[in-house]
Amino acid sequence: MQTASAEPSSAKPSIIHTRAGFFTIIGVLVAIAFFSVVAAVSFGQVDIPLSQSYRILLHQLTGLQIGNPEDLQAGSFVDIIWKIRFPRVLLAMFIGAGLTLCGTIMQAAVQNPLADPYILGISSGATLGATFAILVGFGSIGLIGQTGVAFWAFAGALGAAILVLTLAGAGGKITSVKLVLAGMVINALCTAFSNFIVYFANNAEGIKTVTFWTMGSLAVANWERLPLIAIAVILSCAFFLLQPRILNTMMLGDEAAVTLGINLSVYRKIYMLFSALITGIMVASCGMIGFVGLIIPHMVRGLVGSDHRRMLPTAILFGAIFLIWADVIARTIVPSVELPIGIITALIGGPMFMYMLVKKGYAFGGR
């Protein structure tokens, strides 16, 4: 049995009324994303002409040369773009897409407009793991090509998510309310343990490192770190893009799912665990980057509606573009200083979310 959409008939019609219109929007977003990648590698402490950046990327990716080959080697432009900025821009693109995807899935799974990728205690669990690694002294231990801090942060994030799912499933089936409440409990416990470690640590530099890590940064980007995140995000996008019918049913509620013969409890477990795994990988690499998974799904929902067949691909592209430019602002707004990207996303996302809260007519899932 098919469910056409999670939007009831009273919902405002989407601005995308036709299939051709939707694909036009997707095409425009893809073009903007391509332009953003090329433009973003041009900005930084050393400004590089946009045409030069395009030629360097074209030569490095395809071997093709446009113009004088000697110009491609001007100064250190090639090393700056290929070894430093391009991996960072790609990382921003994948992290933005992944956080937005997970935020969209979480909001549908728990039927809560305030849900974000960290709702399962992932942020506090990752912070506990990172704090433990940095201040207790396990930060130098590496595993599967990652630093010790990244490994312990991922372990903390995944452990917290599993605890939340276990607690929410105790005594019966998992419900959206139990998931939110369990997430709050685990978040409080992990935060308390993190603060306990920080309070007794006699390591000023380590405490500063923990503080910077919790605000998020893409400065760790390199070609060795990128493949794991890229594969995780691409596979998760491919998986969830095939799940719009179930996600639309989640927005309708458990009663509608029972009528349609769909066991939402099972799907909710799978989706939440899958999202927690992907978010844990991203958080372990870049720290906490807030508001991306919270605000972008709401913006896209207001643009194309709540039908996940259209919302998911649009949100993924929006999230990628948003974080690319947020990172550009983070590394250029203050000369010779790089701000944590979490500060920029909060400064942008906070006012936008407040505007959406006071805007008349805004509804979640058409309600």
pLDDT at position 315, please?
96
Q: What is the pLDDT of residue 110?
A: 85
Percentage of residues in the chain having pLDDT higher than 70: 88
Identify the pLDDT of residue 8: 42
For residue 237, give the 3-state DSSP assignment.
Answer: helix
Residue 323 pLDDT > 80, yes or no?
A: yes
Structure confidence at residue 1 as a pLDDT band (50, 70, 90): very low
Q: What is the pLDDT of residue 328?
A: 95
Least confident segment among 28-37, 134-143, 238-247, 307-316: 134-143
Q: For the chain, what are the domain ranges? A: 19-214+223-358
Q: What pLDDT, on the 0 to 100 scale, is given for residue 3?
A: 43
User: What is d(CA 125, CA 193) in angstroms, rounded to the nearest whole number?
Assistant: 10
Query: Where does the pLDDT of residue 362 fall: very low under 50, low under 70, confident under 90, or very high at 90 and above?
Result: low
Instruction: Name the helix (H) or strand (E) containing 174.
Output: none
| Whether pLDDT at 299 is above 60 | yes
Q: How far is CA 348 from CA 234, 258, 263, 302, in A?
A: 26, 40, 38, 18
Query: H helices within 145-175, ranges in order?
Result: 148-169
CB atoms inside a 10 Å sphere around CB 334: 10
Helix (H) or strand (E) holding 345: helix 341-358
Q: What are phi and psi of 334, to 5 degrees?
A: -115, 120
Instruction: Summarize the confidence of residues 237-256 as an average pLDDT.
Output: 88
Average pLDDT (122-142) is: 77
Per-residue confidence band for 5, with pLDDT thresholds at 50, 70 and 90: very low
Given a cut of 90, whether residue 268 has pLDDT beyond it is no
- So what's the pLDDT on residue 9? 40
Q: What is the mean pLDDT of residues 218-243?
A: 92
Q: What is the pLDDT of residue 38?
A: 92
Mean pLDDT of the chain: 83
Q: What is the pLDDT of residue 314?
A: 95
Q: What's the whole-number mean pLDDT along residues 116-132?
A: 87
Give the Cα separation of 296 and 310 in Å (integer): 14
| CA dist list (Å): 62 to 56, 71, 94, 290, 325 | 10, 17, 22, 36, 25
At residue 123, the pLDDT reads 85
Residue 15 pLDDT exceeds 60: no
Mean pLDDT of the 292-314 span: 90
> 171 pLDDT band (50/70/90 cuts)?
confident
**pLDDT for 149 beyond 90:** no
| pLDDT for res 13 | 45
Summary count for the chain: helices (H), strands (E): 15, 0
SS3 146: strand
Examine the pLDDT at 72 and tell me if it is beyond 70: no
Q: Quick one: fold of 19-214+223-358?
A: ABC transporter involved in vitamin B12 uptake, BtuC (1.10.3470)
Confidence of residue 324 (pLDDT cuts 50, 70, 90): very high
What pLDDT sits at residue 142? Answer: 46
The pLDDT value given to residue 69: 56
Range name among 121-130, 306-315, 351-360 with the lowest pLDDT average: 351-360
